[in-house]
Each structure stands twice: as C-alpha cells, then as structure tokens.
Amino acid sequence: MIGLAFDGGPGGWAIALGAGGLAALAWKLQRRTPLRLRALRCAAAGVLALAGAQPVLESLQARLTKPRLSIVVDQGLSMGAKDGGKTTRLERAVEWLEKHRAELEERSEPVLYAAAERGRRVRWEDLAALKPASAGFDLAAAFQDVSDGPPSSRLWLLSDGASDDAASVDAALSRWRSPVDALGVGPKKAARSLAFAELRTPDFTFLHARFPVTASVEASELAGTEVELRLWKGAALAGSAKLTVASPFEVLTATLTAEASSLGEERFRVEAVAAGSAGAGAREVAVSKEFGVQVIRQKYRIMYLAGRPSIEYSHLREQLRGDPNHELVSFVILRNPENVSPVSDNELSLIPFPAQEIFVQNLMQFDLFILENFAYWRFNLPVQYLDGLKRFVAQGGGLLVVGGSNAFTRGGYQGTPLEEILPVSLWQNPDDYQPGTFFPKLAAPENPLVRLADTPEAVAALWKSLPALDGFNRFQAVRPGATVLLAHPTEKTPQGQPLPIVSVREYGKGKVMVVGSDSTWRWRLGSGADWKLSAFYSRFWSRAVQYLSGSLELKKVRFAPLPDRMPPREPAVLTVHLFDDGFRPLSGADADLKVFWTSPGGKSSSVVPRERRPGVFDVELTGLAEGPHELRAVARYRGQAWGEDRARFTWHPRPPESALNRRRLQEAAGRSGGEYSDLDRVPVSAWLDRLPPVRRESEVLRRTNPWDSTAWLWLAAVLLTLEWLLRRRLGFA
C-alpha cells in the first residue's frame, strides 16, 4: 500500500499556499490572455507549490498496536512459602504467567519484572529460574524501579503482600501514575487463620509512663468467632481485648495499654487467639508478634545530701534545680551532733536529719544519689544504710560522691560497703584531704563525659583554659575496670598511678562517680573572665547526670544493633566494638576478646572473632538452629576484666509461612485505581479486558522523497521558459 505525506512543515506549506494563491489570482486576472499561456504560468506555480510542500511517497504495511503491560513478580523471602503444598508461591505465580503467556502476548505487550529489595527487568525465559530472595519485598523500591522503565497502560503485581518496607502505600505509588491490579498469591484454599496486618507503637516512651499499642489483625474464615487480643510483658498479662469476627475476611483493630517500668529497651508480645469450635472440630488459631520500645527518663529524680553549707553545694544545687529534666530533693547539714546548742532542739527552726527516710524508706524512688563532703561517722548511722546504697547502685541507680575535708577516709567510709563500689580505694591515713590549687589533667580525652568540644585539639584547649581547682582528696589506688577522667598533674598514688580527681566505674546495673575536690564551682565563676567557658559548668554536670542515670552509654564492649529476626542465610555476621579507657578503638593485639554463643537448645560454645579493623570485630555463625540465640562478648585488657555485652536474635532457616496480606494489596490497588483478586479467582481475560483495546495502525516500511531533487527546479525553469517563448511568439512580450 502506497501513501502520500508532506514534510514541508509550516514554512514549506506557507510557500506552497503562497504559490498556489498567486497562480489562482493570475488565472483570474488574466482572462484575456491565451489559455496556453495561462496554463504554462499556473503549471510553473504549481511545481513551486509542490516543492514547498515537500511530498513524500510512503510504502505502508498494516499492523496491530498493543497496550504495554508491566508485570511485577514478588521475589521476596515470603514467596518461598509452600502453603502446605509442593510448590512455592513464587513457582505458582510463574506457572500462572507461563500458562497464560499466549493470551497476554495476543492482547498486550508484557514487560516482566522480578522484585525483592529492588526491581529488575527479566525475560520470559528467566522466569523458571527465579528463586525467593533472602530479603523481603520492598513495595516502594519496586514501583520506583518499574517507573524508570517504559510507560505502561497498567501494572499487574503478583505478590503475597508481605512487604518489608515501612513506607506507606501512598509513598510507594507516588511515582506510578497508571492503575495497579494486585493478584494475591497465597493459599489456594482459604483456611482459618489470623495474621497481624499492622502494629503501631511509639518509638520511645518515658519511664513509668503508659503508652498505647494498636494492633490490626486479619481474620480469615472465622466469621462468628470471638478473637482475643492479649498484650504480654514477659509472663505478665498487661492487657487484653475481645472482638467478634462478622465476615469471612475482616480486619480487627484494638488498642491496648502498656506501662514502661525500666530504662532501655523493654520487650513486649502481642497475641491474637481465636477459640476453636468443639462441634465443628475446628482447632484454636493463634498468632503472636514481639516488639520493643525504648524507655527514657522524663525527669531524673535526684537526692542531694551535703555535709555542710558550701560554695560547691550552692552552685551545684542551683545547676541541678535549674534543669527542667531534674527533680531535686536536697538536704544540707547545718548543725552536727557534736555541736552544743544553748537551747533545746524543739526551740530550733532546723529539722532533724531524716536519715531513715533518706537511706531506707525513699531511697529506691531516686535515680541518682549525691553525697557531698558528708561525714558518715558523725551521725552513728547503721552500716546497713551504706549497704542499702550499695544495693541501690547494683539495681541500676547512680551514685556521685564529691570530696572535701569531711569525705572519704575522714568521713568514716573506709572498710564500709560504700568503699567496695567506689572506683578508687580509700587513703589509709585519715588525713586524706590536701588544700592547695592545681590544674587537673585530662586522662581520657576521648571519653564522652569529658569530650565537650568537637575535636581533640578543642577538647584539650577547653580544659586547659579552666580555672584551677582548690583542694583534693588522696586515694590509695584505682580499682580494676575503673576509668580515670581527670588526674592531678603531679601527685601519685602509692602504686605510682596519677592521683585520680574524677573517676567512674560500673557496679552491677548502676554507675558510680567520684569527684575528689569540692571546688568545681570555680569552673562556673571562670565564665566571667572568658565567655567561651559560659556553658562549660552546666554541660559537664548535665553530662555527668546523664551518665550516672543511665542515659549516656559508655560500654567499652558493645555489640552493634541487631534485628529481631536475622535473614535466613549463613553465615550470620554480628559485629562487636571494643574501646579503650579513653573510648578510642582498642586493637585486638592489646586486648583479649572472647565470644560465647548459646544456641536454642542451651548448648554453649565459643566463637573466634575476626578483627576487621582496630576495635571492630566480626563474629560469624554457621550451623544455626531455628529459634532464639544469645551471644556474650567478654574482654580483658592488660590482664584485667574490661567489660562485656550481650546480644539476642531469632533465626529461621526457611521463610515463615506468612499469611496472604490482602489488606496491603487491596490498598495498593484501590489507591491507584486498580482492582484486587486472589490469583486464581478471576480469569485472565477479565484482567485483560481492563486494558485499552488493540489498535490497527499503518507502519511505514519505506519513504521516497521526490522533492529532494533538482528536477523540480529544472521542471519549473522549463515551464517558465516555454511560457516566455510562447508569450514572445504571440506578441505579448
């Protein structure tokens, strides 16, 4: 079939119309001119008009234009489930596509994609080789990768809806403008089942606060059944709700309330249970899901006990009270028992020292206990009070002991339970306090407690610019595992160690800090002479409170964060970080790191860590059994215990039999203008009917451009020459 087209464009058509118009006008105005002469003139103008229009001869062939159809096959981890049969969900999806390949290619131009963490284009020949990936299906990433390909009239998504991404369906569809039809791949036969569709919890909550836990559960084939949602914290039931299923498929939603009782991550478990039917022989259906919530403090509750009025007490008390995150209770001793008063105690405005209330009745209500220059022996307090402080720290409390002329050895603490938990051992001589000014020296500049500037140089310059302290306490030695933050520039312990001024250690679940001088108030006054020090005092003490109350993590042995469920591949790789006294990476050449692994059956074994770079160790686990695993990393440095950490995770060697998440697929289809159905419930012809119809179009096989030749000009020239000769012959020249 031959067709005619014109390539002249707007300019060429303007020339053609102009030439044609002039020819028509000339024909009309020259009626008295002989017909032969007018014909030659019009023929020349017509040739010029055709040259301007640029006619093209096309050799055409009729063909059918089919709508493009993008088909995304979910290749995620959960598509490996067999749903009680012999083939996986992925294999069933591939079989369905291959079975209907002829119909698909007859009515559309299919473009195939396989997607897990990312989407990639595949051929028909590649489908049979697809295997479930070790990662879950990322719905948002799949749509983004498909949208980068050729535009399509429609998209088909073959999936079980078990997407690992946390992005909303709206975000996943933001780059895809065509309708999405979702074809659910799951159990062929509907069974009584429960599955968690959504679990909403806060990222963090405050200590002792109550917070909501909203659970949405998909109930299939449980119409008329009562479903109970239970929230567990360990073995204790925190809350429950009962709901009745009204239809064969329904999403049940309930909000339960939990309470945070300890700092750090608290673990909970939500459970959905549908009772069985004795008459029908149906069994109980149950499903559970674990989650964690980070618990932080809303306010730090602090008890401050000072042995006498002092400038240190005045400034530190003002600093603690000025922070809205602190709830402070303070007592200062104004009259010691040995002080003689000329009047009876009843006539004094002072209250008696409430030792029983402080050390026994209310101790465990506080997060931090501060003893500043307090002489324990003066009040004949029972040693059980100090033993209570020891238990307070062991159970997670913080203890700050500030020195002075009545603290430590002179205060009567030598040989008591309190000395056992200090980072230092006390001076043997009662005269442990030495007056005199000095500039403390940084002993651990990389430690977060004293790293109050951005660079090591700035940290060193900041501490050197501080005013001198006045007076210090002597100590016998630094305990193993303790960290010295500030030391005296010249004084030593009897063992030859730099005399600690500020030192810290962990004891049980709590932390202890010793400040061997009661003159840190001088740092605050120093801001009057140097504006750069204006915030130093408040920053130092705020960070100290955070450390002692458990908000500032200072573990020297630390596992990198782990997911609750490890990917089902071996080896499973975990990472351990090791730090030195100044919180710099600690090389394995200087330390001894051991990792102990406890499998689900309770069997323990040791694993040799591999140092990837200084201070960073990889732990590879093979031969994993299904279930919960626990690891314990223990380090020794220079022959001393250095620290330890624990990590727990759950491992499955095969993908869990997750339920078909119809709700997510329905959302993806509904919000894009598409539809949802289980894979085998709607014939493929019904899906194809939603595509635009096949159009019949003509395809150009060959183009011939006759105007692209000088013959047009020669023809016009010949016609004009003939017109001139004829005009002269007829006497019109």
547 vs 504: CA distance, rounded Å: 10
pLDDT tens digits, residue range 124-135?
999 999 998 876
pLDDT at 459 (0 to 100)? 87
Give residue limits of the domains in the chain: 2-64+698-729, 67-187+660-693, 193-295, 300-337+353-460+485-548, 557-651
Query: Per the structure block, which two tokens stand in for 643?
Result: 């620290």
Element (H, E) at 597: strand 591-598
536 vs 522: CA distance, rounded Å: 11
pLDDT at 102 (0 to 100)? 93
SS3 715: helix
476 vs 572: CA distance, rounded Å: 47
Query: Per the structure block, which two tokens stand in for 344?
Result: 């009876």
Amino acid residing at 582: G
Beta strands in 141-235 (DSSP E): 154-159, 180-184, 193-200, 204-206, 210-220, 226-233
pLDDT at 526 (0 to 100)? 75
Q: Are 13 and 52 in contact (CB under 8 A)?
A: yes
What pTM, to 2 d.p., does this model score?
0.49
Contacts of 142 (CB under 8 A, 6+ apart): 72, 113, 115, 118, 119, 172
Phi, psi of 647 (to 5 degrees): -140, 145
72 vs 87: CA distance, rounded Å: 19
Pairing of strands 398-402, 510-515: parallel
pLDDT at 696 (0 to 100)? 72
pLDDT at 606 (0 to 100)? 92
Superfamily per CATH, domain 300-337+353-460+485-548: Class I glutamine amidotransferase (GATase) domain (3.40.50.880)
pLDDT at 347 (0 to 100)? 45
733 vs 726: CA distance, rounded Å: 9
Task: Let me know if domain 193-295 sits in CATH 3.40.50.1820.
Answer: no
56 vs 7: CA distance, rounded Å: 7
Query: Per the structure block, which two tokens stand in for 149?
Result: 């390909």
517 vs 475: CA distance, rounded Å: 12
162 vs 139: CA distance, rounded Å: 9
Kindly list the distances between the CA atom of residue 469 and the CA atoms of 107, 426, 517, 669, in Å, as whole numbers in the listed order.
Answer: 87, 21, 7, 70
pLDDT at 279 (0 to 100)? 46
What is the Cα gyration radius of the chain?
Answer: 42
SS3 287: strand
Q: Is it true that 193-295 and 557-651 share their CATH fold?
A: yes
Contacts of 69 (CB under 8 A, 6+ apart): 104, 108, 109, 110, 111, 152, 153, 154, 155, 156, 691
pLDDT at 349 (0 to 100)? 42
4 vs 13: CA distance, rounded Å: 15
| HSE, side-chain direction, 13 A CA sphere, residue 345 | 8
pLDDT at 350 (0 to 100)? 45
551 vs 539: CA distance, rounded Å: 14
pLDDT under 50 in the chain at which residues?
164-167, 278-280, 340-341, 343, 347-351, 564
Q: Is the peptide bond before 656 cis (omega within 30 degrees of 0)?
A: no
Q: Are 172 and 143 in contact (CB under 8 A)?
A: yes
Burial of 720 per CB tally in 10 Å (0-12, 13-18, 19+): middle
573 vs 571: CA distance, rounded Å: 6
418 vs 431: CA distance, rounded Å: 19
Query: Per the structure block, which two tokens stand in for 509?
Result: 């679940």
CATH number of 557-651: 2.60.40.10
**CATH T-level topology, domain 67-187+660-693:** Rossmann fold (3.40.50)
Distance of CA 428 to the CA centre of its chain: 53
pLDDT tens digits, residue range 599-634?
998 889 999 999 988 889 999 998 888 888 999 999
pLDDT at 91 (0 to 100)? 93
Look at phi and psi of residue 32 and say left if phi exceeds 0, alpha if psi is from -120 to 50, else beta. alpha
Query: Per the structure block, which two tokens stand in for 160?
Result: 């079980």
Q: How many CB atoms lie within 10 A of CB 509?
A: 14
176 vs 562: CA distance, rounded Å: 34
pLDDT at 354 (0 to 100)? 73
pLDDT at 619 (0 to 100)? 92
pLDDT at 14 (0 to 100)? 65
170 vs 531: CA distance, rounded Å: 51
pLDDT at 163 (0 to 100)? 66
